[in-house]
Amino acid sequence: MVERKPPVLRSNHGPVITLLVGLATAIVLFVLGANAATEELDSRNASATVAPPATTAPAPPATTAPAPPAKIRVAYAGRVDGGAATIAIAIRDGAAIAYLCDGRRVEEWMLGTAADGKLSLSGDDAVLTGSYDKDSAAGTVTAGNKNWTLDIPVAKKPTGLYRSTADIRNARVVTGWIVLANGEQVGIANTEGRLAPAPRLRLPSGSATVNGSRVTADAIDGSTGAGF
Amino acid sequence: MGRPVLDSDREASAADRVVLLLVPLLIGSAVAVALGVYGRLHTPTGIAVSVAGFSSPQTVKVWLASGSALFALLQLASALVMYGKVRWIAAPRWIGAAHRWSGRVAFLLSIPVAVHCLYALGVQSYDTRVLVHSMVGCLFFGAFTAKMLLLARRGLPGWALPLAGGVVFTALVTMWLTSSLWFFTTVGVQF
């Protein structure tokens, strides 16, 4: 008779050893990653003198804690090449938020990372890759089946990215605005998937009237942490 | 042997059985919760170490995860054979070893991915895919821990290992679907 019972494991320690080996591997990788991070932060700090002008909140001097994450807080805004849409990117300590918007039919919120001068963000149906420095951000953004190149300058308030989220008559409305250096505003109000041009954003208060209700927008510029 | 089974023995074994299951389950849950809390609380560094031969750190992760998912499929296949669920295949003698080693490889491949995810990106919730991925990622390592601890014990009820294995497999496949497959379909298949 062939036994159809599952074979009995000979060693009882195998699974535990597997776990321990996995844990050890994770620790080694973690330490390697932490070292790489420290080196990268050092090199970032070394170039911290080129800190972007949008850094309104200077990093507090490190008194006790060793090496907090590099305080790179900056925003960029402008039109994609060809001018078909606007885009804004905000960076805060390695994290990045971007908003692509044509003011009518196309909008994409993207999240991702900004590290070592490189941007890597993605959204529901969009991907942005590129680079950034103290003056500008450049790269390519793909949304749906379209893609654009971009090279946009640093944004100084009130130029930049704004976002409000509100529940208006039982519908979640997320509105994004990009305010360009010439004062032009490009935005979309998204009422649970239905897109409409955003109403005018009153600055500097950041208030607007969306679907008949007054909402307040947060400036997503990396320095306040709003939106991150 | 010939000794009659006493009621007290039965009760003891029932209580033992609960402890037998509960301790690995609690430890596994603690692992999952710890990963989630760490991923949520620490500031993601956004730092990635790229590997030569790949175009970006993202693609490294995508392919490591795909390798892990492939070995997970071997896990499912070998487990089915081992439990005699595939009628036309008699379990070969090496099936247990194949199951153990494919599992170890799948687990080891997933570790660099998880370390990077937790360290650089953290637990995020900005859209459904990312939320599901974050949750399932924590679940996977908790469930895997629980399964390994269960394996090290004897006298488990028959359903315990298949159930634990099923959770581990489902979690890993869901992780792959919400990351690598998403990457392949949004960004494209690239190395």
Q: Mind listing the pLDDT tens digit for each residue in B74-106? A: 999 999 999 888 888 888 889 999 999 999 999
Compute the average pLDDT of residues A19-32: 89
Please tell me if residue A21 touches chain B, with a CB cutoff of 8 Å: yes
Q: Which residue has the higher pLDDT, B25 or B11?
A: B25
Q: What is the mean pLDDT of residues A70-83?
A: 84
Residue A156: per-residue pLDDT: 86
Q: Which amino acid is at A128?
A: L
% of chain A beyond a pLDDT of 70:
79
Q: Give contacts of B112 with chain A, Cβ < 8 Å.
A: 25, 29
Q: Taking a contact as any Cβ pair under 8 Å apart, which residues of chain B between 95 and 114 contact chain A?
A: 95-96, 100, 103-104, 107-108, 111-112, 114
Count of domains forming chain A = 1
- Per CB-CB distance under 8 Å, the chain A contacts of B155 are none
- A9 vs A36, residue with greater confidence: A36
pLDDT at B126 over 80: no
Residue A68 lies in a domain: no
| Assigned domain for A228 exists | no
pLDDT at residue number A183 = 84
Is the CB of A16 less than 8 angstroms away from the CB of B148? yes
What whole-number distance in Å separates Cα of residue A138 and Cα of residue A130? 5
- Confidence class for position B51, pLDDT limits 50, 70, 90: low
pLDDT tens-place string over residues B174-191: 999 999 998 888 777 877
> Would you say residue A27 lies in a domain?
no
Higher pLDDT, B9 or B123: B123
Closest-CA distance, A90 to chain B, in angstroms, reads 14
> Quick count: other Cβ atoms within 10 Å of Cβ A107?
25
Residue A51 in any domain: the answer is: no
- Whether residue A180 is contained in a domain is answered as yes
pLDDT at A163: 93
Full residue range of the structural domain in which residue A98 is found: 73-219
pLDDT tens by residue, A161-182:
999 988 888 888 999 999 998 8
Q: Token pair 């039965």 is at which residue?
A: B10
Would you state the pLDDT for residue B54? 67
pLDDT of residue B142: 96
Q: Is A101 domain-assigned?
A: yes
Pick the closest to residue A175 from A103, A92, A75 (CA basis). A103
What is the per-residue pLDDT for A51? 39
Q: Within a domain: residue A161?
A: yes
Identify whether A49 is part of a domain. Answer: no
- DSSP tag of B3: S
